[in-house]
A and B are shown apart, each in its own frame.
Chain A
Amino acid sequence: MNFLERQLEDKVRFARIKRLFYVVLGVIAVAEIVLPLVFEGEEHHFGFEGFPAWGSLYGLISCVAIIVVSKLIGKAWLMRRENYYDS
């Protein structure tokens, strides 16, 4: 049993990792809003980059958009059975 196995197989430890993940996400999002106010941030190329927690927000939107749109295109059009080219 290696280190990773001990962390992932144990329900208590796994729940702790999950909580830690959400805490880190919260800290990042807050830091992204607060830090540019405290320190003088460098100039943005676009106005929307100044939106609070722009990176976090756009990351989440991108991720969901990619999964949903790709799956829709795949189901409606692109995905075929595995032996499509063999018969």
Chain B
Amino acid sequence: MTLEWVHPGLLLILGAWLLVFLKGPIKRIAMLVLPGAALVDCLLMSPGTYGAVTFMGQDLVLGRVDSLSLVFSYIFSLMAFVGMVYALHVKDDFQHVSALIYVGGALGVTFAGDFLSLYLFWELMAISSVLLVWLRREPSAVAAGFRYLLMHIVGGLVLLAGIVVHWSQTGSLAFEDMGVFSGGLAWTLILVAFLLNAAVPPLGAWLPDAYPEATVTGAVFMTAFTTKSAVYVLIRGFAGTELLIWLGGAMAVYGVVYAVLENDARRLLAYHIISQVGYMVCGVGVGTALAINGATAHAFAHILYKALLFMGAGAVIQMTGVRKLSEMGGLYKTMPITLGLYMIGAFAISAVPLFSGFVSKSMVISAAGEEHLTTIFLMLTLASAGTFLHTGLKLPYYMFFAKDSGLRPKEAPTNMLVAMGLAALGCVLIGVLPGLLYAHLPNPVDFIPYTLTHVMSTLGMLGFTALGFFLLLKHLDPEPKVSLDTDWFYRRPSLRLVSLVQGPLARLEYGFVGEIYERLVRGPVLGVANLFRKLDSLVVDSAIVGVGRSTQSLSQVLKTMENGQVQYYGLIMAAGILALLALAVFFS
């Protein structure tokens, strides 16, 4: 690795361990300096290829720096900084270390120019992020963490299989556009692994399963990196894959449908991550310059507003100890700042003019329009209405207003509010001055979000969505229920398996298999062993005993000859010599 290029991911992965040795205010300063340094590092980078190393005969590139990797690295390290501000009060070193390694992994994926280093950082992300779930230290979190890890290990193995097949077919590990291999085995395996991390249904149920179980601060990190680094690698490798248009469109609507049914505050927001990533996946599938810009811009904007929403919901959960919407209500009286900052995030995700979602989401929808994808255009617009309905209306209504729950929590700690304020500032800044973001997109931008028609139809759509919400409010009351998702396929059967193992299977094993084993295996084995024992005592033992006995009697005979008198031995020797001489004379 050259000295003029420092890998921001490795900086975080190695630097994170410093926190374990630091104390007090110095530790808190280090928590901010580390992601701050990574951000400055990314901002100072100029495009090029850095960190080329040869490992076991393979050329690895740790630093592919171009316009696409740069814009993702900016938002990843910026988000790491905001997330650390939010987590500043947490007295659990391992959460901070895991979070920073997780961000480091995401930056590693972003700059990886080859599949092998991509794979290593990919797995590092899975392992470090599951710790953010486990560190909540609740039985439900541990179980959800295992399910999360299960899915990501499967995804990692599929990715590795794809890489091996790709390498054996092409002899190259370089991670470039995969379009020429379209339909092949390697292409399919790698795409499936990427789609799993992007939480594309039916592979995405791990997301709403695990994120609401993570720690309050850990979940904020998780919303940003796994799905968005997957969007990045999809742009890099699979831009223009038609399948993604439809998967993305379906995803956008799927998340919205589940959000209607959801009662857990953070799980509702998690379903809206899936919905929002749907726009990005769809943009990747459309693949035009505008669509790729849209997917990138939307990923950038999304990281900020979704983190802001999770920070708001997290602040409420931390201050009330309650996570279900049906148990909240009336919190606006004591948490007005949290409410205000949350609403900025809600306006941003809902694409209200002057907020960030408006200038990024419309790029993807316009790209679909330019390609005359009528159904996709209608699906994405419908999902926009659904986003405002849940994130902008339902969640804040039941959390902060609705019937008074009697909860009177204090306002969230200052560092949490500051972090939310930073993210909110980003949401407004991008919305008001979209040029700031557009200047860093991978393709040149000639898109104008603020046109009269676009602003008016958006306002109309949002306003009348609100009307529909208030008209149907009675039917929207959150219910204390869970909704089936594709995680059913690995949760329910394993549950049945456990009860089957503990009940009938255990009795079957004891009563039937045990008996059969007794008769078929244990009996004959014991019989044969007995036979061998007898054989052993009869043949082998008596042979050895016989040898011993004969040796003993021989030595009894010999003993009589050994009386210890030298003249007697001399006599025998002389007799021997005479006998030898006689033999010699006789035979010569």
Using CB atoms and an 8 Å cutoff, list the residues of chain A in contact with chain B: 2-5, 8, 21, 24-25, 28-29, 31-32, 35-36, 39, 41-42, 44-46, 49, 53-60, 62-71, 73-74, 77-82, 84-85, 87
Q: Does B438 contact A (CB under 8 A)?
A: no
Contact A25 B452 (CB under 8 A): no
Q: What are 19 A-B contacts defined by CB distance under 8 Å? A: A3-B336, A4-B332, A4-B339, A28-B459, A36-B453, A41-B453, A42-B453, A45-B370, A54-B460, A55-B457, A55-B461, A60-B468, A66-B257, A66-B385, A66-B386, A70-B261, A74-B481, A79-B483, A84-B482
Chain A residues closer than 8 Å to B70, beta-carbon distance: none
- Per-residue contact bits, chain B 479-517, to A (CB 8 Å; 1 contact, 0 not): 111111100000110010000000000000000000000
Contact A49 B457 (CB under 8 A): yes
Contact A59 B483 (CB under 8 A): no
Q: Does B33 contact A (CB under 8 A)?
A: no
**Least CB distance, B137 to chain A, in whole angstroms:** 19
Contact B469 A46 (CB under 8 A): no
Do A69 and B475 contact each other (CB < 8 Å), given the known contacts A62-B381, A63-B389? Answer: no
Chain B residues closer than 8 Å to A42, beta-carbon distance: 451-454
Using CB atoms and an 8 Å cutoff, list the residues of chain B in contact with chain A: 256-258, 260-261, 332-333, 336, 339, 366, 369-370, 372, 374, 377-378, 381-382, 384-386, 389, 401, 451-454, 456-469, 472, 475-476, 479-485, 491-492, 495
Chain A residues closer than 8 Å to B467, beta-carbon distance: 25, 60, 63
Partner of A2, one of B336, B366, B384, B479: B336
Contact A60 B452 (CB under 8 A): no
What's the Cα separation between A24 and B332 when bound, in Å? 24
Do A82 and B261 contact each other (CB < 8 Å), given the known contacts A45-B369, A55-B461, A62-B382? Answer: no
Contact B256 A46 (CB under 8 A): no
Contact B381 A58 (CB under 8 A): yes
Contact A62 B386 (CB under 8 A): yes
Partner of B464, one of A5, A8, A25: A25
Chain A residues closer than 8 Å to B339, beta-carbon distance: 4
Chain A residues closer than 8 Å to B475, beta-carbon distance: 67, 71
Contact B389 A67 (CB under 8 A): yes
Contact A29 B482 (CB under 8 A): no
Contact B385 A62 (CB under 8 A): yes
Partner of A59, one of B333, B460, B485: B460
Chain A residues closer than 8 Å to B484, beta-carbon distance: 77-80
Contact A55 B458 (CB under 8 A): yes
Contact A28 B456 (CB under 8 A): yes
Chain A residues closer than 8 Å to B258, beta-carbon distance: 70, 78
Chain B residues closer than 8 Å to A70, beta-carbon distance: 256-258, 260-261
Chain A residues closer than 8 Å to B336, beta-carbon distance: 2-4
Chain B at the A interface: mostly helix, strand, loop or mixed? Answer: helix
Contact B389 A58 (CB under 8 A): no
Contact A82 B481 (CB under 8 A): yes
**Least CB distance, A60 to chain B, in whole angstroms:** 4
Contact A39 B332 (CB under 8 A): no
Chain A residues closer than 8 Å to B454, beta-carbon distance: 42
Chain B residues closer than 8 Å to A81, beta-carbon distance: 481-482
Contact A67 B332 (CB under 8 A): no
**Least CB distance, A42 to chain B, in whole angstroms:** 5
Partner of A66, one of B378, B389, B401, B482: B389
Chain A residues closer than 8 Å to B257, beta-carbon distance: 66, 69-70, 73
Contact A53 B481 (CB under 8 A): no
Contact A65 B370 (CB under 8 A): no
What's the Cα separation between A62 and B460 when bound, in Å? 12
Do A71 and B462 contact each other (CB < 8 Å), given the known contacts A32-B457, A45-B377? Answer: no
Chain A residues closer than 8 Å to B485, beta-carbon distance: 78
Chain B residues closer than 8 Å to A54, beta-carbon distance: 457, 460
Chain A residues closer than 8 Å to B385, beta-carbon distance: 58-59, 62-63, 66
Contact A59 B463 (CB under 8 A): yes
Other A-B pairs beyond A32-B457, A80-B484, 4, CB < 8 Å: A25-B466, A28-B456, A42-B451, A46-B374
Do A63 and B452 contact each other (CB < 8 Å), given the known contacts A5-B333, A80-B484, A85-B491? Answer: no
**Least CB distance, B315 to chain A, in whole angstroms:** 17
Which of B378, B460, B472: most chain A CB closer than 10 A? B460
What's the Cα separation between A41 and B455 when bound, in Å? 11
Chain A residues closer than 8 Å to B479, beta-carbon distance: 79
What's the Cα separation between A43 and B452 when bound, in Å? 11
Q: Which residue of A lies closest to B394 (CB)?
A: A67
Contact B482 A85 (CB under 8 A): yes
Contact B260 A63 (CB under 8 A): no
Partner of B460, one of A56, A64, A71: A56
**Least CB distance, B45 to chain A, in whole angstroms:** 38
Chain B residues closer than 8 Å to A53, beta-carbon distance: 460
Q: Which residue of A lies closest to B384 (CB)?
A: A62
**Least CB distance, B379 to chain A, in whole angstroms:** 10
Contact A59 B465 (CB under 8 A): yes
What's the Cα separation between A49 and B389 when bound, in Å? 22
What's the Cα separation between A39 and B261 when bound, in Å? 42
Contact B382 A66 (CB under 8 A): yes
